[in-house]
Amino acid sequence: MIDEWLVFLLLFLAPVVSSIPIALAYKSKGWTEKLPYLSVFGIFVSVLMSLYILFVVPKNQQFVYDWVPDLGINIVLITDYLSRYMGVITALIAFFIAIYGLDYMRGDYRPSWYWFFFNLFTASMLLVVYSDNLFLLFVGWEGLGAASWGLIGHWFRDDDEIAYVGVPKRKVGPLELSWPPSFGGWRAISTIRFGDVPMFFAIAAIWVFAGTLNISEINWESLFLTIGCAGTIILLVLLLLGLLTKSAQVPFSEWLMTAMTGPTTVSALLHSATMVAAGAFVFIKLTWYIKPWELHHVPGLNYVYIFALFIGLISGLYGALSASGMLERKVLLAASTMSSLGLMFGVAAASYWIHEEIAGMNFALLVAFWYMAVHAFAKASLFLVSGHLIHATHSRFSVGDFEFGKRMKTAFGVTIIATTFLIGMPPFTAYWVKSGMDEVMEHLIHHGMVIPIVLLILTSLVYSAILARFLSLNFIKGEKPEHEHVEGGGLMKLGYVMMVSMLFVLVYLIFTSAETAGFVHAGFIPTSFAVGMAILVAYVIAIYKPRIPSLAKLGAFFNDRMYLPFVNDYILPKTGFFVSHLVQDYGNRGIDGFFNTKVMPGLFERISKGIRTIQTGYLTNYVKIVLGLVMIFLVIASIGGILI
Same domain, 373 and 412: yes
Same domain, 190 and 295: yes
CA distance 496 to 515: 28
Among residues 456, 151, 166, 452, which one has the least CA distance to residue 275?
Answer: 151
Same domain, 142 and 247: yes
Please give the torsion angle defined by the CA atoms of residues 528, 534, 539 and 544, in that order, rounded to the nearest 10 degrees. 160
Same domain, 218 and 293: yes
If one counts the domains in the chain, the total is: 3
Q: Write down the pLDDT at residue 214.
A: 92
Number of H-type helices and E-type strands within the chain: 27, 6
Among residues 235, 69, 241, which one has the least CA distance to residue 141?
Answer: 241
How many alpha carbons lie under 13 Å from residue 265 in its C-beta half-sphere?
28
Q: Write down the pLDDT at residue 611.
A: 64
How many other C-beta atoms are found inside a 10 Å radius of the C-beta of residue 9?
A: 13
Residue 397 belongs to a domain: yes
Q: Write down the pLDDT at residue 28.
A: 84
Radius of gyration over every alpha carbon of the chain, rounded to an integer in angstroms: 30
* Residue 241: strand, helix, or coil: helix
Same domain, 504 and 607: no
Cβ 194 vs Cβ 567: under 8 Å = no
DSSP assignment string, 126-190: HHHHHB-BHHHHHHHHHHHHHHHHHHHTSSTT---GGG-EEEEEEEETTEEEEE-HHHHHHHHHH
Same domain, 145 and 237: yes
What burial letters (b/e) apply to 226-261, b meaning 16+ CB within 10 Å?
Answer: ebeeebbbbbbbbbbbbbbbbbbbbebbbbbbbbbb
Same domain, 399 and 493: yes
Residue 15 belongs to a domain: yes
Same domain, 495 and 641: no
CA 427 distance to own-chain centroid:
30
What 8-state DSSP symbol labels residue 471?
H
Same domain, 624 and 598: no
What burial letters (b/e) apply to 573-604, b meaning 16+ CB within 10 Å?
Answer: eeeeeeeeeeeeeeeeeeeeeeeeeeeeeeee
pLDDT digit string, tens, across residues 167-219: 877 877 777 788 888 888 888 888 888 889 999 999 999 999 998 899 999 99
pTM: 0.88
Same domain, 453 and 590: no
What 8-state DSSP symbol labels residue 397?
B
* Structural domain harbouring 624: 617-644
Cβ 546 vs Cβ 473: under 8 Å = yes
Q: Write down the pLDDT at residue 580.
A: 65
CA 346 distance to own-chain centroid:
15
CA distance 572 to 136: 33
Residue 138 belongs to a domain: yes
- Relative orientation angle of helices 409-422 and 490-512, to the nearest 10 degrees: 30
Q: Write down the pLDDT at residue 243.
A: 94
Q: Write down the pLDDT at residue 356.
A: 83
CA distance 297 to 229: 11
CA distance 313 to 249: 10
Domain boundary (496, 530, 563) is at 563
Q: Write down the pLDDT at residue 531.
A: 95
Residue 178 belongs to a domain: no
CA distance 640 to 445: 80
Same domain, 622 and 549: no
Q: Write down the pLDDT at residue 519.
A: 93
Same domain, 558 and 572: no
What burial letters (b/e) apply to 333-363, b meaning 16+ CB within 10 Å?
Answer: bbbbbbbbbbbbbbbbbbbbbbeeebeebbb
C-alpha triplet 179, 194, 561: angle, nearest 5°: 40
Residues 6+ apart with CB under 8 A from 502: 92, 377
Instruction: Divide the 644 residues of the chain into consecutive groups of 10 and give the mean pLDDT of each group.
Output: 85 94 87 91 96 94 83 84 96 96 89 92 95 92 89 83 82 80 84 89 93 92 94 95 92 88 88 85 95 94 96 95 91 93 96 87 95 96 94 91 92 96 94 95 93 96 96 93 82 95 96 93 93 96 88 82 75 66 69 69 72 59 67 69 52
Residue 124 belongs to a domain: yes
